[in-house]
Structure 1
Amino acid sequence: MIRGASLRGFARLVEELGGDPVAFTERFAISPDALTSEEGLVPITAHDLMLDAVSVDLRCADFGLRLACGQDLSVLGRLALAIQASSTVAEALECASRFMFVHSPALSVGVEPDPRGRREVVALTYRKDLRESPYSPQAMELGLALFHRVAVALTGGLAGLRSVELPHQPLSPVSRYAEYFGVGVSFGCPAAALRVERRLLDQEFRGADAAIRRLAVDYLTGHHTDPERLVSTHVRRALAASIGATPAVLGQIARLLSMHPRTLQRRLAAESTSLEAIVDDVRRDIALRHITTTDLPLGQIAAMAGFAEQSGLSHAVRRWEGTSPSRLRRRTRGTF
């Protein structure tokens, strides 16, 4: 999932390009309310597929970059307050890394060694967990462009930016990227990153306020649980790795997590879920992801999602989406 704030400016930009924003949300089964309610949650795969589809259908190769131009740090909600009140760039990045799951559990930012081996340079990385959702070029460009935009605003210009790296090949002319980022951009890299001089991490913020930061961090800690601390997160990952190959049996999952089956049941109940609910969610994620992003035969997708027969997949998709797998595939591709 991802907060609806990620779509700030989407409707206006789509309309400027001659498109119908509501039609796009309906096509990807996203509530139109997501265009106006920034606190709502949107399935990240549908969100990203929609960005890619808009780019193709409206012939706007730099859609992600354009969308980022209408956004700022405030899209992160209360996390933005904690970042702004931090004392240094390093502290702000630590806070963003710690609580990015509030915006989306699938996204992360971090400080890593320079991929080119320069000691005086670090990589400010922006990553998406591909176990949660497939890669999206437009969504990656939106995220990294917004990361850059926020960094410029917080540091007063991002002096020390050496270059920018993207995992995919250019969607727009390379000159468009140079125009946006103001430095050279490399493509086909291991991770999306802003390569900056290490000294930038020590830059102090004029608006630093330890009391406000402490209040903001306390709020985030008290109102949001890091998914990594949830047993259901680890059950979900275990199932995602095995559901197409072995039956989803409580005892087997419990052994993988070094836990007694009854203890696992109690821990899941305490998190208001169950193995059955997680199995259904994992099957849904695997099935819908492959239906909407690949041309794999439906029978193969059924097996990958742990269904004994294709009919099981068909019944499940109708329950989840109110339509058949084939119609869902056509709908997301705009070939109703």
Structure 2
Amino acid sequence: MADVVRAAGLRGLPALVTTLGADGDALLSGFGIAPSALESDDAVIPSVAAARALEAAAAACDCGDLGLRLAGQQNASVLGPLAIAIENSPTLGEALDCARRFLFVHSPGLSVAQVPDPESRPGVAGIRYSGATELPPQVADLGLGLLHRVTTLLAGGYGLRSVHLPHPPLAPVGHYTTFFGADVRFDQPAAVLRVPQTLPATPVTGGGNEMLREVALDYMRSHFPAPGLFISARVRHLLARSLGSGPVDLAATARQLRMHPRTLQRRLADEQESFEDLLDDVRRAAAHRLITQTDLPLSQVTAMVSLAEQSALSRASRRWFGLPPRDLRRSSR
């Protein structure tokens, strides 16, 4: 998947930069980031642009703890649908598991995981925040700071033992210890929160709403393919999302995958697949569901499977199922 991050991850940055004496909107625009994108729950931006904007903002404001300050103004809502699953988990362990499995929805290049205590103390575990490549200092501070803030909001004081950061102090050490409320150690191998080993059993404040959690998990499973999938699976996923609402041709799908159409065709061929066959299969599955499980007019079904005319649906239905749509619907009842 492309190395992107939800623009909401920088939510609040322009206003913070402006209060520190610089022009927040102009700074973002200089990196090709529209300030309005930060208020969207769906917009994504290149991860490199986001990291460079954050580092440039810290330099322009002469504010070494900018990442921590921004984290202190944010909450889980910047994570989009993942926030709903996290906030409605019954325990911190299940909230962490949601983050581990679905943080790629926020950015494919980031991960969070429970790890052994880097200091090997009994009764202590680590929660590591990492990237596909080395995290720039402000990105590490923002990410680990947000992880700490969300955990605190979910369960109150959670017994944080100490914090490891993979860079030297960029501001007075007191700024870090005040933010985390714990000892902070610098130039460590990874960004880690050292927490009680019993933390996963800690209940989330309010107990959570299991129905909302499952709805959010189902949404993420169905709308966001996990990194590492075969290209054919990613194409199938994009086509299923675009049927009836957007273009479903090769060029449009290639643009969404940020590759040339010929490259996409070649990679599909490497998997013994073709774009035309995948589109036909996705259409067939959608048409069968809409014809047999709903009472929608066939003209609407035609539009929802991205066919131009109802006669095209009739021909396709005979080819797929051996029956025209009306007979298929009747037989299914």
TM-score greater than 0.5 by the shorter chain: yes
Q: How big is each residue's C-alpha offset from its partner over 1:171-204, in whole Å with a ceiling of 9 and x where there is no partner?
A: 1111111111011001111110110011111112
1:88 matches 2:87: no
Q: How big is each residue's C-alpha offset from its partner over 1:135-167, in whole Å with a ceiling of 9 and x where there is no partner?
A: 311111011111100011111122x21100011
Residue 214 of structure 2 is matched in structure 1 by: 214
What secondary structure, in the 3-state scheme, does the structure 2 residue paired with 1:118 have?
Answer: coil
1:68 matches 2:57: no
Residue 32 of structure 2 is matched in structure 1 by: 29
Deviation at 1:220, TM superposition (A): 1.1
- The whole-number CA distance in structure 1 between the counterparts of 2:20 and 2:135 is 24
For 1:37-52, list aligned pairs within 5 A. 37-52=40-55
Residue 10 of structure 1 is matched in structure 2 by: 13
Residue 226 of structure 1 is matched in structure 2 by: 226
Deviation at 1:74, TM superposition (A): 1.0
- The whole-number CA distance in structure 2 between the counterparts of 1:58 and 1:201 is 38
Aligned residues: 246
Deviation at 1:127, TM superposition (A): 0.7
Which AA in structure 1 matches 2:175?
R
1:86, 1:210 within 8 Å by CA — same for their partners in 2? yes
1:61, 1:171 within 8 Å by CA — same for their partners in 2? yes
Which AA in structure 1 matches 2:178?
E
What secondary structure, in the 3-state scheme, does the structure 2 residue paired with 1:266 have?
Answer: coil
Q: 1:62 to 1:263 in 2, by over 3 A?
A: same
- The whole-number CA distance in structure 1 between the counterparts of 2:98 and 2:232 is 24
Q: How big is each residue's C-alpha offset from its partner over 1:232-282, in whole Å with a ceiling of 9 and x where there is no partner?
A: 899xxxxxxxxxxxxxxx9xx98xxxxxx833373788899xxxxxxxxxx
Runs of 4+ in 1 over 6 A off after TM superposition: 267-272
Q: 1:233 to 1:192 in 2, by over 3 A?
A: farther
1:185 matches 2:184: yes
- The whole-number CA distance in structure 1 between the counterparts of 2:274 and 2:114 is 33
Which of 23, 34, 51 matches 1:20? 23
Identity of aligned residues (%): 43
Comparing 13-22 with 32-41, which one deviates more in the overlay?
32-41
- The whole-number CA distance in structure 1 between the counterparts of 2:23 and 2:39 is 15
Which of 106, 109, 123 matches 1:106? 109
1:11, 1:35 within 8 Å by CA — same for their partners in 2? no
- The whole-number CA distance in structure 2 between the counterparts of 1:20 and 1:270 is 51
Gaps of 5+ in 2: 235-262, 280-333
For 1:1-336, list aligned pairs within 5 A. 1-130=4-133, 135-158=135-158, 160-205=159-204, 206-231=206-231, 262-264=269-271, 266=273
1:8, 1:38 within 8 Å by CA — same for their partners in 2? no
2:232, 2:273 within 8 Å by CA — same for their partners in 1? no
Which AA in structure 2 matches 1:221?
R
Comparing 91-100 with 222-231, which one deviates more in the overlay?
222-231
Deviation at 1:85, TM superposition (A): 1.3
Q: How big is each residue's C-alpha offset from its partner over 1:8-54, in whole Å with a ceiling of 9 and x where there is no partner?
A: 11111111011112221222122233233342101110100111111
Which AA in structure 2 matches 1:195?
R
- The whole-number CA distance in structure 2 between the counterparts of 1:157 and 1:41 is 32
Q: 1:30 to 1:265 in 2, by over 3 A?
A: farther
Q: Calculate the aligned-residue CA RMSD, in Å.
A: 2.5
- The whole-number CA distance in structure 1 between the counterparts of 2:25 and 2:180 is 31
TM-score by length of 2: 0.68
Q: 1:35 to 1:212 in 2, by over 3 A?
A: closer
Deviation at 1:65, TM superposition (A): 0.8
- The whole-number CA distance in structure 2 between the counterparts of 1:170 and 1:198 is 27
2:114, 2:126 within 8 Å by CA — same for their partners in 1? yes
What secondary structure, in the 3-state scheme, does the structure 1 residue paired with 2:192 have?
Answer: strand
Which AA in structure 2 matches 1:173?
P
Q: 1:268 to 1:45 in 2, by over 3 A?
A: farther
- The whole-number CA distance in structure 1 between the counterparts of 2:56 and 2:278 is 36
Gaps of 5+ in 1: 235-249, 255-260, 273-336
Which AA in structure 2 matches 1:114?
D
Q: 1:99 to 1:50 in 2, by over 3 A?
A: same
Residue 283 of structure 2 is matched in structure 1 by: none
Which AA in structure 1 matches 2:116?
P
2:14, 2:28 within 8 Å by CA — same for their partners in 1? no
Deviation at 1:115, TM superposition (A): 0.9
TM-score by length of 1: 0.68
- The whole-number CA distance in structure 2 between the counterparts of 1:194 and 1:154 is 16
The structure that has the greater radius of gyration is 2
- The whole-number CA distance in structure 2 between the counterparts of 1:221 and 1:38 is 17
- The whole-number CA distance in structure 1 between the counterparts of 2:52 and 2:60 is 12
